[in-house]
Structure 1
Amino acid sequence: MLTTTPLTCVIVDDNEINRLTLEHLVDLTPELSLVASLPGGVEALHFFRQGGTCDLLLLDIEMPNMSGLELAKLLPDPAPAVVLVTTHRTFAVAAFELQAVDYLVKPVEFARFSQAVAKVLAARPTARVAPPAAPTSAEMFVKVGSRSLRVNFDEVLYIEALSTYSVLVMPTQKHIVYHTLKSLTERLPFHNFMRVHRSYIVNMQRIEAVEDYVLKLGSYQVPVGKSYQEDFQRQLRSL
């Protein structure tokens, strides 16, 4: 395997023995450099959200509080290459759905581990990828699953709070995004969006009718909260 700089590697496994085993395998592999060995998905999510990065994530699937599959869907962009490690073969379909580079079954042998590392190295891009085109004034990138999706907010009818996530509701589809309603309120640069309820932000340009402070947007209806009604009426008159 040809490489000049070792791949940075993070291990996530709630079992200490399994973690030590993977650390030993990484130590035996000159193409890898271990930067963190973490006991769970919650700790790993904190690592990445605090700016931690790696080229390769060796990820256990079955862990308390947050499984490896759940963590993989929350990885920031650009996401590391993921090699799933588990005691069961039944997660193979999930591994392919997550586009994991490989899938190792415990106990992991060094020869099989080396094959997985070779796959990761082979999948690394060799050419510089051009950055995506800058979004237009009505577009913004939002986190959807393990990827950043460019959304044309002219097409968004309204945004609904969903626990720590939000739902972008469009005429024919919905996107669950990894942003709270508060964070989206702070990020939206488009003047035509307005918060009308503790759980809703609406696209004022897409309102078709208003009746008793219930807004009709396509086939959907959104209520206007009592504390938002005065500001809503003021904004409506300015349209």
Structure 2
Amino acid sequence: MKIVILEDEPLIAQRLEREVRTHFGARLAHLVLHDSLEQALAELQAGPCDLLLLDLNLHGDDGYELLRLAGKRCFQTIIVSAHAERSITAFDMGVLDFVAKPFSRERLQQALQRYTDLSQPSRLSLAVKKRGALEWIDVADIDHVQADGHYSNIVLSSGEQCFHDLPIEKIMVLLPPHFLRVHRSYLVNSLVFKRLHIAAGGKYALDTQTSTGIPVSRSNYALLKQRLLG
């Protein structure tokens, strides 16, 4: 697991580092601290990241700009900022949690636990419409998600299909980091990847344990290789 902390106040950065190490323990392989947007952007572009702890006021730079510049991303973000009035923007951008400064240890640990829960699919469920009723499905049973206009079609490992009234961008925020966006219309559970097809003309397709021929866009193919191969 790799975590990046972007915070320009040294004492707060040290506190965040301490709490992150306490929470994740041996699961934490890499922890990187930066105090400028440029450094953090270079870090995120250099290789995969699992979680970003982000301040919003960075020597006058806007932390949200980092998320905009990062573009398509496979990491989750927790905002840690004194600007609580900007929390609505955070959730519109798919941020996992917003921790307002000054924060208590309990509040920060709560946010970190949200990420931990999100990373453990066996503990997660998702409400979907099945047979005209609202039911909860185990996230671990999801094979992939396909965009259907402003809605989403969820395909389970059994082959059964479920309807969700959120667009695929919103569904992605609700799922663990191992669900990867391989195409603008497809979100796939990387734990069930089986085969990646590379055809002439730069066309790519993915097979899972349940489905075949899921399209992979060129840009997402590069991200997919980076995520899976390191």
What TM-score, normalized to structure 2?
Answer: 0.50
More strand by share: 2
More helix by share: 2
Q: Which has the higher contact order (CA 8 A, sep 6+)?
A: 2
What TM-score, normalized to structure 1?
Answer: 0.48
